[in-house]
Amino acid sequence: MKNSIDQKSILQILSQAGMILILAATLGILVNEARPGKLSLWLTGGSEKQPVLGVETRMLISLDEAETRFLRDRALFLDARSPEIYKQAHIMRARNLPWEAFEQYIGTVMADIRRDRFIIIYCDGQTLSVSGDLAVALASRGYKNVHVLVNGWNLWLANELPIEAGTPAHARLREMDTQHGS
């Protein structure tokens, strides 16, 4: 009975494990390529159809619907980018809830927002997961009507939809509250 672990055994173990992995990779890739709605192996940015991991399909919203809701003022737009970028330009009437400082901002930004409000979150295409992360976080806080406009900022600009720059009134009030410690 062999009780020792020799080099041949180690080689056998590693080669068998390697073959299983190679076989699995081959099968996985072949099956993926053959199925409709395959997963993309090479994630790239810059399109509305890019998958936003962590976000359910029902949370995604098209540009057309987002524009319609904007024109009818039927949605709250949230900008998930940093405050510095938000101040340069953002979708008109959008509020800034930067994902990087979610806990710090959510109390003031969402203080007057009901849990059933229709919310549309956007960011730019270079930070894929930011709007998705924000959507998931808001959903976990009880906001039931949260949606993501994938690559929203770039699409909004490309379609010459209304934007504004600087700090909107509600944000200036928030800054004043913060400065006065309230």
Partner 1 sequence: MVPDHRLKTPVIPLAVRLFLGFVFLYASVDKILHPAAFAETIYNYRILPECLIHWVAIILPWVELLLGCFLILRMWLPGGSFLSTLLLLIFLGSVAFNMARGLDIQCGCFSTSEERIHGAPMLWYVVRDAAFLLLSLYLFLDTLLGRRGSVSPKM
List residues near partner 1 by CB under 8 A: 1-3, 5, 9, 12-21, 23-25, 27-29, 31-32, 37, 39-41, 43, 51, 53-54, 56, 128-129
Output the smallest distance, CB 28 to partner 1, in A: 4
Smallest separation (angstroms) from partner 1 to the CB of 115: 20
Q: Are 121 and 80 in contact (CB under 8 A)?
A: yes
When the beta carbons of 108 and 124 are compared against partner 1, the nearer one is 124
In the complex with partner 1, the residue whose CB is nearer, 110 or 137, is 137
The CB-of-170 to partner 1 minimum distance in angstroms stands at 31
Closest approach of Cβ 87 to partner 1, in Å? 28
What does the H/E/C string look like for 83-138?
Answer: HHHHHHCEECCCEECCHHHHHHHHHHHCCCCCCCCCEEEECCCCCHHHHHHHHHHH
Give 40: exposed, middle or buried? Use CB within 10 Å, 0-12, 13-18, 19+: exposed
User: CA 153, 158, 161 angle in degrees (round to 5)?
Assistant: 75
- Residue closer to partner 1 (CB basis): 109 or 128: 128
Return d(Cα 61, Cα 10) in angstroms, integer: 53
Cβ proximity to partner 1, 49 vs 114, nearer residue:
49
Smallest distance, partner 1 to C-beta of residue 175, A: 31
* CA distances from residue 176 to 88, 89, 103, 181, 182 in whole angstroms, order as listed: 20, 21, 19, 9, 9
Nearer residue to partner 1 within complex by CB, 137 or 149: 137
